[in-house]
Structure 1
């Protein structure tokens, strides 16, 4: 055991004790944080426009600060991008995290000297929680990899610009630099398929102990290791014992991963966004991720069923309830105010506050009033494939409103590792599960408005080929779990098993 591993345990104990103390006083901590954010931004253009200096309470705040998305905040962001100071936050950002939006084109999300450290410390603290709970530090003595975007940064009027994962690569702690793979040169490769092969070249003979990334892209890395060596990932990396992931739910991939690895490994879920690091899994035994209540973000929540109403309910953490699907709203030390990142969450614990991500407010199916969300389709699929030989590589769901014959239905596009013999039986079980979860869907099926779902089998590798065809192969890109239209569905039909 190295000195690093020995020192990690008391440090983990100290940090987690402090974080749980904050979490168990979440309401008070969040109230103080809001006052601090308003004080720091009151002399900015946005702060003056929205009368920050006069805000005394959260009720005042709601009256002054509207809920917005990037498009609504864009006039202010464009001033920041043009080089103006003191617009959304004091001074200028350190970086712009560059992301792609469906309506706004390229989005420039500011990262400030106050916000950037919170991204780094949150990722570190997720590992410290794991160490404190499990007392496992073995992964610190081997090699680590996080499949991510290129660390090469562009320039936007003097402000460095790139993907969040690429920006974060510049902040790897010195004590981990010797453990980190791949090389800088390999990380800078833009073409994802070329990059994966280069990553394998650099890692295949190393003692890999921690591997991280979005599950769908790590799966490609694992599949190509198995194809190249003829061995399981666990045989190639016998000391690999920790998988760190974010971006999508791991459960649909778990069976496939355990087959590729050849055994179970511990996993830690992260919830980082360019707009702020929101939560991470703090326990291997408790459900959900710990909401980071002192991480530069004041949170608000809107019940998802009210979100598109003219005057939806808007609450702070003081009034949230278990089991309600909320749209999460951020107010950050990077100058985002009343900002809807598009995600929906649900609280599974209040003290400390733990959440699960349930989907995207724009990613749902309600073509017939059913309002099926991501959590429901994932839960239905997982429930009927867990503890079976069925392995799902990827899937997405879309409505079929005008079929050639019969009633409309939900079409599930599924890429299997091996197509099950009884496909209709699987579809029936998944549909029954979805009916149990969603009473609206149940009523539509029983009322003969919809027929039960149908599964369309996508050829192996089809989802990756689709993502490549739309220029989104690799990096932080992911396939939406469900859509309310047929845009993705119609493209995926090109990869349907004949």
Structure 2
């Protein structure tokens, strides 16, 4: 599978050529719009207001009589999911014309600021709008890296959770649902059949993914979270001999617990491949290890998030992939896609002005009672803002809780990069832990133990993979067993409260948490120090969630408790 021996099939060449030909006018139109972003923003806003003027929400805020952006901002309040939860739950139960004129065909399920998951309505119209942005992003990749489809595309996703609402509408993780519903012509180019991602045991799933992928000539590797890539690369070292043996024999290791239905689907694709096995053994003998840069010499591009805390993982990719280019996915969530990266440099993407209407609250104002929102033509380079969106899916002036930075401008349109979740949330690996999650978890964890906790705060420890640190000061001196029980219970409660936290822990993208017991009166000393520095004594409180890894250094730690 040497790089000088590969040729792209005529079929794939035709597909790429057709893609570029069809999307080139779309890209030119988008780039033309970036010269006057406010014009594009007005057009998209009033398209959504007209479309949804007869919904409950549209009637409540009189969409039909809104004549300007200023009217819209004065009449329609900022919203967040908790403001909309009851309306969305009614939509999930079958109610029509609530937030959108179009009926939802799917609900994206993700963690919320409370322990209850969010259900984000997806209509055919909003799905098509999001798909148009995906196609545009793909166009720029195909333009810059025409060899990305010459071999297999290795995509890592979450499995589709086959749930339905009371009215029978499917709901679950959006990326799994999208993978299942890919057109057959695109599925042919994917290395891993969807069913493999349904394997429940993580080691069994990872092994099967690697066993299949390593046999292929992979030219594109795509997953949102780069930590998943690092984990797979680390597991290759552990399983390299078993994988090579399986490839040689055309088998799938029987020692892994894989449901018969899925095993049959996988094995149907397998056949003995001694040539590939010899090549892998040669690489192993020559290099002393099995690295993707050696066994996938034709890999053209890695597609993953690069901004915010993801930089921690990018530093480790060079060892495994050499100088393979990396393209950011852009600001992408269940609620919306907000940017389109058109280069491999950095993590910034052009604001997607043709799909959502955007407002921005300066970071320093985001927690003020009176929040001042500006439009995209008033943004300043290198400044950070809270992102507010109005989407085709029925979210109006919606607080994404995403803080973005303006990296520059493409024509007159901002190039934005995701920096972090809002100040009351941390997302080290996509888990989105909110302060309310921590508060709920510690209260539930201590309900049975009844420990007397003087102060409690959660922070982070940036290592590979990163982990959460639970700082605690007890009034009394509980036994070691009770401290261990508290840590275990906090972990269990967080997994129950936050689906993404549980997933990232199981995928080993987050290390196990540590309980750090502070010496008596440490938190009071910290409080006194902050008051002496100018904090208001009656208002000061130590937050229960702190993103600064240096925060724990403010306290003398007497004991560290690890999960067993």
Q: What TM-score do you get using the length of structure 2 for normalisation?
A: 0.65
Q: How does 1:196-275 map to 2 (within 5 A)?
A: 196-213=206-223, 214-229=225-240, 230-246=289-305, 249=308, 250-261=310-321, 263-270=322-329, 271-275=331-335
Give the SS at the match of 1:194: helix
What does residue 422 of structure 1 align with?
Answer: none
What does residue 419 of structure 2 align with?
Answer: 358
What does residue 105 of structure 1 align with?
Answer: 116
CA deviation vs aligned residue, 1:133-164 (integer Å, no higher than 9, x gap): x2x31111211122111135321112111101
Give the distance between the partners of 1:200 and 1:12, measured in 2 at CA. 33
CA deviation vs aligned residue, 1:349-394 (integer Å, no higher than 9, x gap): 2323210112111357xxxxxxxx99xxx9xxxxxxxxxxxxxxxx
1:291 to 351, 367, 372: 351
Give the distance between the partners of 2:313 and 2:464, measured in 1 at CA. 11
Structure 2 vs 1, CA of residues 97 and 474 (structure 1 numbering), >3 Å: closer, same or farther?
farther
1:345 to 389, 404, 426: 404
Deviation at 1:485, TM superposition (A): 3.1
1:14 aligns with 2:25: yes
What does residue 143 of structure 1 align with?
Answer: 152
1:125 aligns with 2:142: no
8 Å contact kept, 2:424–2:545: no
8 Å contact kept, 1:71–1:104: no
8 Å contact kept, 1:149–1:475: no
Q: How does 1:436-475 map to 2 (within 5 A)?
A: 471-473=502-504
1:277 aligns with 2:308: no
Give the distance between the partners of 2:61 and 2:16, measured in 1 at CA. 49
Deviation at 1:197, TM superposition (A): 1.7
2:195 to 185, 197, 201: 185
8 Å contact kept, 2:313–2:464: no
What does residue 262 of structure 2 align with?
Answer: none
What does residue 83 of structure 2 align with?
Answer: 72
8 Å contact kept, 1:8–1:137: no
Give the distance between the partners of 1:218 and 1:3, measured in 2 at CA. 30
Give the distance between the partners of 2:560 and 2:335, measured in 1 at CA. 34
What does residue 331 of structure 1 align with?
Answer: 390
Deviation at 1:89, TM superposition (A): 0.2
Gaps of 5+ in 2: 1-7, 241-288, 436-456, 466-490, 512-541, 553-558
Give the distance between the partners of 2:358 and 2:337, measured in 1 at CA. 12
What does residue 33 of structure 1 align with?
Answer: 44
Give the SS at the match of 1:105: coil
Q: Which has the higher strand share?
A: 1
Q: Count matched residues.
A: 407
Give the SS at the match of 2:111: strand
Structure 2 vs 1, CA of residues 412 and 102 (structure 1 numbering), >3 Å: closer, same or farther?
closer
What does residue 98 of structure 2 align with?
Answer: 87
Give the SS at the match of 1:144: strand
Give the distance between the partners of 1:313 and 1:487, measured in 2 at CA. 25
Gaps of 5+ in 1: 365-372, 379-395, 399-408, 418-463
What does residue 414 of structure 1 align with?
Answer: 462
CA deviation vs aligned residue, 1:204-256 (integer Å, no higher than 9, x gap): 20111111111111211122124333311111212112111138544322231
Deviation at 1:30, TM superposition (A): 0.4
Give the distance between the partners of 1:5 and 1:104, measured in 2 at CA. 44
Give the distance between the partners of 2:155 and 2:128, measured in 1 at CA. 19
Structure 2 vs 1, CA of residues 24 and 321 (structure 1 numbering), >3 Å: closer, same or farther?
same
Give the distance between the partners of 1:153 and 1:274, measured in 2 at CA. 17
Give the distance between the partners of 2:560 and 2:113, measured in 1 at CA. 22
Give the distance between the partners of 1:75 and 1:111, measured in 2 at CA. 16
Give the SS at the match of 2:504: coil
8 Å contact kept, 2:387–2:400: yes
Give the SS at the match of 2:338: strand
Give the distance between the partners of 1:266 and 1:108, measured in 2 at CA. 35
Give the distance between the partners of 1:93 and 1:477, measured in 2 at CA. 34
What does residue 204 of structure 2 align with?
Answer: 194
What does residue 65 of structure 2 align with?
Answer: 54
Structure 2 vs 1, CA of residues 118 and 196 (structure 1 numbering), >3 Å: closer, same or farther?
farther
CA RMSD of aligned residues (A): 3.5
